[in-house]
Amino acid sequence: MTDRLNLSLLRKLVQLLAFLFLVYGSAIVGFYTADKISGALPALACAYDQQTADYCTLIPFQHQMDHRVGMVINAGGDLLKALLPSLITLGTFLLMFVVLNKAFCGWICPLGFFQEVLSLIGQKLGLRRIESLPEGLVLRVRPFKWVILLLLVFGLPLLAGLGSVGHELGSPYCSICPSRILTTLAAGDTSQVYLDTSSDGYFVLSLIANLLFGLMLAWGLFVRQPFCRICPMLALHAAFRSIGLVRLVKQGKPRCEKCGLCAKACPMDIREIHTEMEQRDVLFADCTLCGRCVEFCPDKEVLQLKYVTLPLFKADPAYFKRRKQAQGQWEKRNLLAWWRKRRGGAA
């Protein structure tokens, strides 16, 4: 890496290109669904965005649970045949997931990128940010992503297919997903911001969707990656992370105990990246493979991003020094500081 180009900057460029491609990319890959790359992307690119180049895997799962599996169990058909589309979706998801592992979050996801942009706006406005959430809160929030995955992506759609709950719950995660609102708005379509008055169920879901999006906008200015922490895609990734080829490895040294810079740098507040001293594999369930912990590790090769066994990026004292300096300068420049300086100058 040169003095100017660092891993975070490179990642932002990749995220920007991925955002443009996934939100507007039908112009490149063709308009129709069949022109899309997979229809089972391991990141929240949205099927409701009519210009998207590919869409996330959570929507086919919900529809298959509702329209296929649930209905077939109800009507007494061939269950294996009904499960086949879900298995194809899972297979397609895994084929892509194995290549980048959880880096789909840190490098590709439009909603992940948007939350980083919010964070950047908050920082540039000079807002007093909460750099790390309290440990207790982080631990309490972690199970939610699993609950959302199991309940909203699989459980309720299945029950809707079985007829046990209303059809409103046929795709409940999509009904509240912030990426649906973000990507459609980004494509110039405001039709996804609505309150649905057709039934109590739809009303509650549409209300939650808008409140959640508003909350994400507000919290994103102060806290890093607020939605990611409860995202069902993060849970789906976590379930399969051991098969992914990109790895995060650690070779702990005694100095680690007094340091902890990696955990401070982590946008997901994974403190275990600091405290784990035995295990070599430190790709934890909440990791998005953003690589910040590696960038901000001051000790040689303690943390590494690897592609199977091939090192992609290693902690390095010289890089750390440059990176820390650049970060300090970057954080100093914000609107509030500029305004104070201007007023100070005028006085």
Partner 1 sequence: MIPRTLILTALLALTGTTQAALSWSSQLPPNPHADHAGHGGHGGRGAGTPFILRDGDGATAQLRLPTLVRRALEPDAQGLVTLQPSGLLSYHLLLATRSSPGREEVALRYHYLNGKPSDASPSLLVNSRKATLDIIPAPLTREHQRYQANGAYHYLLRYGDLPLANTEVRLTTSNGSVLSTTSDHRGRLSFTLPDDFPEVQAGRGANRPAEFLLSATHTQAGTQHLTTLSADYHADPAHWRSALGGWLALLGGFVGGLAVVQFSRNSSEENARD
What does the binding site for partner 1 look like in residue numbers (CB under 8 A)? 30-35, 39, 47-48, 50, 59, 63, 67, 71, 88, 128, 130, 167, 170, 181, 190-191, 193-199, 202, 206-207, 210-219, 222-223
Q: What is the rounded (10 degree) CA torsion for 37, 41, 44, 50? A: 30
Instruction: Name the β-bridge partners of 156.
Output: none
If you search the block for the tokens 């070779």, which residue do you land on?
A: 251
Nearer to ligand SF4 (CB atom), residue 317 or residue 341: 317
The site partner of 309 among ligand SF4, partner 1, none (C-beta below 5 to 8 Å per kind) is: none
CB of 287 to ligand SF4, least distance (A): 3
The site partner of 30 among partner 1, ligand SF4, none (C-beta below 5 to 8 Å per kind) is: partner 1
CB of 202 to partner 1, least distance (A): 7
Residue 299 contacts residue 253 (beta carbons within 8 Å): yes
CA–CA separation, 334 vs 312, rounded Å? 33
CA atoms within 13 A on the CB side of 342: 6
Residue 294 contacts residue 283 (beta carbons within 8 Å): no
The site partner of 11 among partner 1, ligand SF4, none (C-beta below 5 to 8 Å per kind) is: none
Nearer to ligand SF4 (CB atom), residue 160 or residue 273: 273
CA–CA separation, 16 vs 328, rounded Å? 23
CA atoms within 13 A on the CB side of 62: 23
Strands 303-307 and 310-314: antiparallel
Nearer to ligand SF4 (CB atom), residue 73 or residue 88: 88
Sheet holding 246-250, edge to edge: 246-250, 303-307, 310-314
CB of 210 to partner 1, least distance (A): 4
Q: Among 32, 28, 1, 6, which Cα is nearest to 17's?
A: 28
Q: Which position's Cβ is nearest ligand SF4?
A: 112
3-state SS record for 73-93:
HHHCCCHHHHHHHHHHHHHHH
CA–CA separation, 178 vs 212, rounded Å? 7
If you search the block for the tokens 């912990």, which residue do you land on?
A: 293
Give contact residues for ligand SF4 (rule: CB under 6 A): 43-44, 46-48, 55-56, 58-59, 105, 109, 111-112, 173-174, 177, 179-180, 227-228, 231, 233-234, 248, 265-268, 270, 273, 287-293
Nearer to partner 1 (CB atom), residue 33 or residue 325: 33
Nearer to partner 1 (CB atom), residue 30 or residue 311: 30
CB of 153 to ligand SF4, least distance (A): 8
Could you give the angle at the alpha carbon of 283 between the alpha carbons of 278 and 286, nearest 5°? 120
The site partner of 128 among ligand SF4, partner 1, none (C-beta below 5 to 8 Å per kind) is: partner 1
Residue 157 contacts residue 172 (beta carbons within 8 Å): yes
Nearer to partner 1 (CB atom), residue 155 or residue 201: 201
CB of 172 to partner 1, least distance (A): 14
The site partner of 73 among ligand SF4, partner 1, none (C-beta below 5 to 8 Å per kind) is: none
The site partner of 213 among partner 1, ligand SF4, none (C-beta below 5 to 8 Å per kind) is: partner 1
Nearer to partner 1 (CB atom), residue 228 or residue 282: 228
The site partner of 33 among ligand SF4, partner 1, none (C-beta below 5 to 8 Å per kind) is: partner 1
Nearer to ligand SF4 (CB atom), residue 142 or residue 180: 180
CB of 347 to ligand SF4, least distance (A): 41
CB burial string 110-126: b at 16+ within 10 A, e below = bbbbbbbebbeebbbeb
Nearer to partner 1 (CB atom), residue 219 or residue 319: 219
CB of 294 to ligand SF4, least distance (A): 7
Amino acid at 347: A
